Every structure is written in structure tokens, then in C-alpha cells.
Amino acid sequence: MKLRKMIFILLGMLCAVTIVAGFNITDPPTKAQLGEKLFFDPLLSKDRSISCASCHIPQFGFADTLAFSNGIHHTPTKRNTPGITNLSGRPNFFWDGRAASLEDQALQPIINPDEMGLPIEEAVQRLNDDESYRRYFQQLFNSPPTSKNLLQAIAAFERTLETANSPYDRYIAGDDNALTPSAIRGRLLFIGKANCNNCHSGEDFTADRFKNIGLYNGTTLTDAGRFEATKDSSHRGFFKVPGLRNVAVTAPYMHNGMFKTLKEVIAYYNEPNNIVHDGINRDLSLSKPLNLSKEEMEDLEAFLVALTDDRFKLSHH
């Protein structure tokens, strides 16, 4: 395991995320603890009705259970809310990669009129009007709340959300019994016949690239993905390859949440034309059916489930 990941995991443990009980930040807090408080505080939405955690729900890998989350006034978002674990060191964020840092990413939901809908200047003013927040920011940044240190605090919390305590991790570390026989077979399929590793590589199972997997046809599937950020016509239908850690708890899947289960995702990759036959410029690696048997698809699902950290309960699946 990389030293970077170990450091962030230890930081996360020190932060002692209090998902259920709320917050009890001691003086002086850390930047990550302050970011945690902000992450769960509806103060940062226009009508004080939602927080970052309203869409990035902790027990679901900090993803949402809806295809499209509800912003203020119950306005649906335009894309599925991705999980935000294991994002430290990533080079780009959002499905279209429009943000280059976690700080840039933290800004967008706050100011998006369909999400939290709060101008950043107003968010900063609210924090300055709050005696506790003024004190925390002064202690940590030697400054009153600003747009810069607000985003730095939230990003600091998000960097603690590194996970590496899954059955897969224990298996790789030498525990031969950590994976079921089905998951072991699924791992071989993942890197072999199913070719998942072509896109989902590295310790977090993302190559940090953009791929067109055929979920854009310009008619029924109209989200052009990366093109919306770059305006480069060659990027139509390209989306960021998400990491697969904790994937068992982050349903529904894809940028539009069109697949409700991992079984549906695997069925799509097994034979894309059966589900979307007219995807524009679909990656050539998906040009032929995988011809996975029912048993092989079950094994592949077992491996994907084994990528989920122990902190997330799987009882609801």
C-alpha cells in the first residue's frame, strides 16, 4: 500500500468522523474537522435546507441512492452524484473533469443554482456572521473565513476519506482467505477475459482517464460528458472513469444512474448492443461481446463487492 494512502487513512481515523452523532469539534479543531462540520452544515445552501452530505451520504460511500440528487427546491441535478472516497491525488473531478483540485470541486455544488444555490460571497458572509466559525477559522488559518480557506477546509476533510480496508486489500496483503472462491475467480476475470482492468487500473481502480463506453447517442442519451467542459467535438460521450473502491454501496451507476445494480452494469459490458445499440464513438474495446457466462458474471460481481471497505455495511444489498 502506498505511503500516501496510509497517511490519509490515519488522518481519517484521527478525525473520528461522527456520521450519526453529529459534531463535537474541540478547540482547537483541525482543518479536516472544520471541513467535516462544513460538509454537514446546511448553512452553505441558499435556503439552509441541504448540506454537502445530503447528496454525498456517508453510509453509501459518500454517494447518493438516487439517479439524480435533489438540490434546493427539490431541483434534480443533471448527473449522478459520485462517491467521494479515495479522491486524494486525483488529477480531475466531476464526470466531465472540469475541476482540477478538490478545492475547485468543493466550490461547484455550493454555487450551482440547481444544487446548493449559494453565491460564494454570501457563504463567506454567513460564516463570518457565526461566532464559532469565525473562531475556528482564526485558529486554523489565522484569518477570518474567506472563499479560499472555506474550500481548503472542505477539501481537507475530503482528503481523509481514503479507504483501504476491504477484503481485497487483505487478500493482496497475504490473507488467502479474505476473498471467497467466487471473488478470486472474479478477480482473474477482471484482469483477463472481462478486460475491466483496461480502464479500471491502479490501487483505486481508475486510470484517471476519460472513456466513451457508449452511453451517448445524441437522441435518448444526450449528455455529451467531457465535451461540455472542453467543447472539443472529439470528447462527445466521454466521461471520467470512476474508481471502483466501495462500488457495492454507491448504486445507481453511470453518469446518469441508469443502472440500478452491479448486475446491470456487468450485463451492459457483457453485451453493450443489447442495451444501447447506437452509442456514438463507443470505445473499440467494447466492440465485441465478452461472452461471460451467468456464473462468470456472478464471480465478477463478487469481486467488485469485495472492493468495498469494511466501514460501509452491505446489509442493504
Q: Which residues are annotated as part of the binding site for heme c?
A: 52, 55-56, 196, 199-200
From residue 229, give the alpha-carbon distance in Å to each of 115, 156, 224, 226.
Answer: 18, 25, 9, 5
**Would you state the cell numbers that stand for residue 72, as one nine-digit string?**
434546493
Q: Are 61 and 250 in contact (CB under 8 A)?
A: yes
Q: Is 25 exposed, middle or buried (0-12, 13-18, 19+ CB in 10 A)?
A: middle
Residues annotated within a binding site: 52, 55-56, 196, 199-200
Counting Cβ atoms within 10 Å, is residue 230 exposed (0-12), middle (13-18) or buried (19+)? middle
CB atoms within 10 A of CB 150: 25
Cα 304 from chain centre: 15
Peptide bond into 28 cis (omega under 30): yes
